[in-house]
Amino acid sequence: MPTYAYACKQCGHRFDAVQSFSDAALTECPSCGGELRKQYGSIGVTFNGSGFYRTDSRGSNGASSGAASGTSAGSSTSSSSESTKTASTPAS
C-alpha cells in the first residue's frame, strides 16, 4: 500500500500515513484538529537495466550497443592472439 505525506495548514505538523488507493484522503490533523494537505514529492522509483529506453528497442542498424559489443569482442580476440605470439617468441 502507498504511503502518503500530510502536513497541517495550522500547526505545521507533518506525518506519513499508509493508505489504500481506495481510502479517502485525511482531512483532520491528529495534533490540533486543523485542516490537512497532502505533500507531493519526488517519486521513489528507479528504472534500471535494458528495456526502459527508446533506443533499447531499435534494430542493430541504428543501435550503438551492438556496434560497441562487436568492437570489444574483436579487440579481445586480437589481444589474445598478440599475447600468444609474444609468449611463443621467447620460447623459440
Per-residue pLDDT of the chain (92 residues; tens, 9 = 90+): 888 999 999 999 999 999 998 999 999 999 999 999 999 877 777 777 766 666 666 666 654 544 444 444 444 444 444 544 555 555 54
Return the pLDDT at 72: 46
Return the pLDDT at 1: 80
Return the pLDDT at 2: 85
Q: Please answer whether residues 8 and 30 qualify as being in contact, where contact means their C-beta atoms are separated by less than 8 angstroms.
A: no
Q: Please answer whether residues 11 and 34 qualify as being in contact, where contact means their C-beta atoms are separated by less than 8 angstroms.
A: yes
Return the pLDDT at 53: 67
Q: Is the pTM value of this prediction over 0.75? A: no
